[in-house]
Amino acid sequence: MSDVAHAPDAGAGANAPAPVTPAVELADDMSNSEMEAHLVEKWRKQREPAAPTPAAPPAKPIQAQEADAAPPQEAPGEKTEAVEPAETPPIDPPRSWTAGEKERFASLPRETQEYIAERERDRERELRRSQNEAAEQRKSLEEKIAQAEKARQDYETSLPQLIQTLRTAQAGEFADIKTQDDVNKMAAEDWPRFARWQAHMMQVGTLEQEAKAAQERRTQQQKAEWKEFSEKEDRKFTESHPEFSDATKSAKMAEDVIKTWEAAGGNREDLMKSYHGETALSARSSALQEIPLKAALYDQAKAGISKPPAKPIPPVQKPGTAKPASNEADDEIATLTRRVAQTGSLKDATALRLAKMRRAANQ
């Protein structure tokens, strides 16, 4: 280690005393450049002017000092309570989160919770705004589509009338043009008239093509609607009668239905066309009136079987006495009731209904 002192500044006066700096300890392993930098830094700090000492505040009067030192006096009978800070309400997690995510949210620091909650609110606001815009656009688009569809239907409805109007005009102006020879003669002798006739025929042809396309479009739409309707009704029938899910039972019952239809005076072909949506059966058809009537009688018979009337106890008769007619009617009704319960036949049910009507008429 060596003691080093700075030389006096050459720029100072000759008579000025040289500032003496305390000895600086330098490590033996310092390089020349490190030693020089260290000495220069020490020299710079010594030459800097000392910071001015802040002036002391003026002394307070004795009365003010005593007032500051004295603790505040409580009024007699009053008790000062410490004001506790208001409890910060908890931050609710986003409602769309799962239970596990909400539990994880509760364990986060409050600063993180505030940040996440604010970001979620921003995201939900943006999502609602996007949904509202999409809903408005969809509504506007649906209205425009409905208007265009109505305009198209109105135009297609008016096509036959337009074609008829053009046909009438053709019959007036070009009534003499009936054959191809007439057309050729007109083309050779009267070019302006031939041009008008040609434009007229092209317009009629265009409208006829549009009418044909509209008819095909309506046919396809009707087929699609019929397919949807038939599938829905078949599902409803199968749910009500699950036994017809079996193809064999269903085919046999279909054949029995056709036989019943034919027995009522209906035509098999008309029934099949109606079943496939190719034509419609009128409810005023005698066959179509007969079938619901039989169905109603069958339902009435089933209702009578489910709740049979109380059978009166016949009076005791002497041997050899003939049975009254009412007992024979009761026996017939009882026999038919048992038969309908066993077979479920529409014929037996009808016979039971007629037997009850006869008994009621004889009483």
Per-residue pLDDT at 69 exceeds 70: no
Neighbours of 201 (CB within 10 A): 15
Residue 292 within a domain: yes
Q: Which DSSP string do the residues of 261-309 spell out, in sequence order?
A: HHHTT--HHHHHHHHTTSS---TTSHHHHHHHHHHHHHHHHHHHHHSPP
Residue 220 within a domain: no
At a CB cut-off of 8 Å and minimum separation 6, what does 55 contact?
none
**C-alpha to C-alpha distances, 46 to 11, 25, 41, 43, 219, nearest whole angstrom:** 16, 16, 9, 5, 108
Tally of residues, the chain: 363
Region 199-218 average pLDDT? 91
pLDDT in tens, 237-252: 888 888 888 888 888 8
- For 93-97, which contacts have Cβ atoms below 8 Å and span 24 or more sequence positions? 93/117, 94/120, 94/124, 96/124
User: Alpha-carbon distance 125 to 94, whole Å?
Assistant: 13
Task: Please say which residue of 14, 29, 45 terminates a domain.
Answer: 45
Contact 356, 333 (CB under 8 A): yes
Per-residue pLDDT at 133 exceeds 90: yes
Contact 197, 183 (CB under 8 A): yes
Residues 300 and 342 in one domain: yes
Residues 3 and 37 in one domain: yes
User: Alpha-carbon distance 101 to 116, whole Å?
Assistant: 12
Decide which of 211 and 282 is more confident.
211
> What Rg value do the Cα atoms of the chain yield, rounded?
56
Residues 346 and 269 in one domain: no
Per-residue pLDDT at 41 exceeds 80: no
pLDDT in tens, 325-360: 557 778 888 888 888 777 777 777 788 888 887 877
User: Alpha-carbon distance 113 to 91, whole Å?
Assistant: 7
Q: What is the pLDDT of residue 144?
A: 92
Domain that holds residue 276: 247-280
Residue 54 within a domain: no
Residue 22 within a domain: yes
Name the one residue in this structure whose structure tokens are 């802040």.
Answer: 54
User: Alpha-carbon distance 309 to 329, whole Å?
Assistant: 14
Per-residue pLDDT at 7 exceeds 60: no
Residues 347 and 291 in one domain: yes
**C-alpha to C-alpha distances, 114 to 85, 108, 118, nearest whole angstrom:** 20, 10, 6
Residues 289 and 355 in one domain: yes
Residues 301 and 359 in one domain: yes
Residues 276 and 341 in one domain: no
Quote the number of domains for the chain. 3
Residues 286 and 358 in one domain: yes
Per-residue pLDDT at 135 exceeds 90: yes
Residues 262 and 295 in one domain: no
**C-alpha to C-alpha distances, 299 to 26, 28, 236, 304, nearest whole angstrom:** 123, 124, 20, 9
Q: What is the pLDDT of residue 2?
A: 43
Residues 288 and 333 in one domain: yes
Residues 294 and 275 in one domain: no
Residue 263 within a domain: yes
Q: What is the pLDDT of residue 5?
A: 42
Strand extents, DSSP E, the chain: none
At a CB cut-off of 8 Å and minimum separation 6, what does 16 contact?
8
Residue 270 within a domain: yes
Tokens standing for residue 324: 């009254």
Tokens standing for residue 262: 């034919």
pLDDT in tens, 140-162: 999 999 999 899 888 888 888 88
- For 273-280, which contacts have Cβ atoms below 8 Å and span 24 or more sequence positions? 277/223, 277/226, 277/230
User: For the whole model, what pTM was predicted?
Assistant: 0.41
Tokens standing for residue 228: 């949807």
Residues 8 and 39 in one domain: yes
Tokens standing for residue 323: 């049975």
Name the one residue in this structure whose structure tokens are 């297609």.
Answer: 156
Residue 96 within a domain: no
